Structure 1
Amino acid sequence: MAEKKGASDRAFQKIINLVLSHELKPGDRIYETNLVDELHMSRTPIREALSRLVSTGFLEKTSGQKGYVVPLLSPDDMEQVYYSRIVIEGKAARRAAQNADQKATEDLVRLNEEEKRKYQANAKDEYAALNEKFHMAIAEMSGNTYLYRYIQQLFWRSNLYVFFFMSFYNLKQPESNGTETDIRLSYKEHEKIIEAILAKDGFAAEKAMQEHLITAYNSMLNPQSKPLLTFEEFKD
């Protein structure tokens, strides 16, 4: 059983890598038979991986049509995805602060420290993986199974945009004078969320998470102009 799950996990990651490398683009249709040849894997783990990717919103499958589709991307869809993340993950952070125990918060601190190390090393892939772990750890700390599921689905859907706006993970960018300027200090924004959770301040945790996601959205889609979303839109 473990071997079967391992094969499915490998297929899952390999399909994601096809998107990461832009071999698969929005609107492309994917077929099991083609992936069997391309990935040199059997159909069962590929079928399982494709089903998982549909459940996360990373791929789409239309009833009555063969194959799977990489969803088309649009500014409206991106705003809807991030708007939903801002609302739902904000509430999850509030619950996490209320429910936090010592082990869970210590794990968050360790994750954040590892994020900082990967940031300083400009290790984009590892940094992205830690970013996901951080957000899903807070979702789990909320103690709400449904929040966790929705956040997981929204996170992966939003990753489609991250993968096609890869400058979001250009962690450091050289300036003309040879120095480096920070582009996306999300690990520092994560620190603020952790501080609120450690203080068991649900309101501050919700606010910090919302501001973090608003910054992520605005930085990725519209980095050189005025913000497209503001915290004022999400205040009670």
Structure 2
Amino acid sequence: MHLKKPTLTRVSAKDIAYSEIKERILKCSFKPGEQIVEDELAKELEISRTPLREALQRLEIEELVERQSNGRLKVASISVQEVKELFLVRSLLEGIIIVEAIDNITENDIKHLAYHAFMIKNNSSENNYEDVDHFGGQFHTTLYTLSNNQTVIKILFQLNDKISRYRRLAHQVDTKKTSDEHETILNFIIQKDKINAELAIKKHILDSMEQAVMGVKQYLESLK
């Protein structure tokens, strides 16, 4: 019997460049407003200019890269106004998500959410922001999947890329408060209390907005 060899998916140079540059932008290795020097970046990533430009065009569409009046590119700027807009829209969309998720949730799903809530709390006690952020993301992504609202999910993933960058800048995050809020949300989900679950998740996101606003103000002030 001959076993069929697994098919290997070939990753293109432009996809590699896109992923690498995007990660650096979201993690703030590339700072807001930083100039993108294509020759230097192509050399660093060991790719030609053509796939690099294709990757940058994709990031420009996603508004993570901005084209200046002289035609050159820079990392997208940040503003307090954008923070407020992003988090407000996210709070409204996640309100829709949680109501629809409650309709579809099973006991196994609740166990899955409870695990993430536990890990958030466990890492919060050690002020481990990176892991709190990771498991918080998993908690919300689980709700996205359960809602099965593909339109809202698509918009949220687009928003969350930008939000991720702002959260990196707003590193002064109260992990204890985040932990408590996820437990509160989970309890309302278990009770199938849609009204309070929606209110709780909106409050959680708007509280995060206030932290992000403070962080961005401090960051912008440090540049003066």
Instruction: Give, in angstroms, the shift of residue 127 of structure 1.
Output: 2.1
Q: Superposed, which structure 2 residues align to 1:215-226 within 5 Å? A: 215-222=207-214
Q: Cα distance, 1:219 vs. partner?
A: 3.0
**2:184 paired residue among 189, 192, 196:** 192
- Deviation of the 1:73 alpha carbon: 1.2
Residues 140/160 of structure 1: CA separation in 2 closer, same or farther (3 Å cut): same
Q: What letter is aligned with 1:205?
A: A
**Deviation sequence 1:158-188 (CA, Å, 0-9, x none):** 12211222212x64xxxxxxxxxx5xx2122
- Asked whether 1:25 is paired with 2:31, we answer yes
Equivalent pair of 2:94/2:201 in contact (CA under 8 Å): yes
Aligned runs of 1:35-184 on 2, under 5 Å? Answer: 35-38=41-44, 40-42=45-47, 57=63, 59-60=64-65, 62=67, 68-168=73-173, 171=175, 182=176
> Secondary structure of 1:167's match?
coil
Percent identity between matched residues is 21
Separation of aligned partners in 1, 2:109 and 2:52: 34
Match of residue 5 from structure 2: none
Where structure 2 has 5 or more consecutive residues not aligned to the other structure, the ranges are: 1-7, 216-224
Shift of 1:121: 2.8
**SS where residue 11 of structure 2 aligns?**
helix
Give the whole-Å Cα distance in 2 for the aligned partners of 1:210 and 1:36: 42
CA distance in 2, matches of 1:132, 1:45: 31
Structure 1 regions of 5+ residues with no counterpart? 172-181, 224-236
Q: How many residues align?
A: 207
- Structure showing greater Rg: 2
Structure 1 length-normalised TM: 0.71
Deviations 1:62-82 (A, max 9, x none): 599866542211121111111
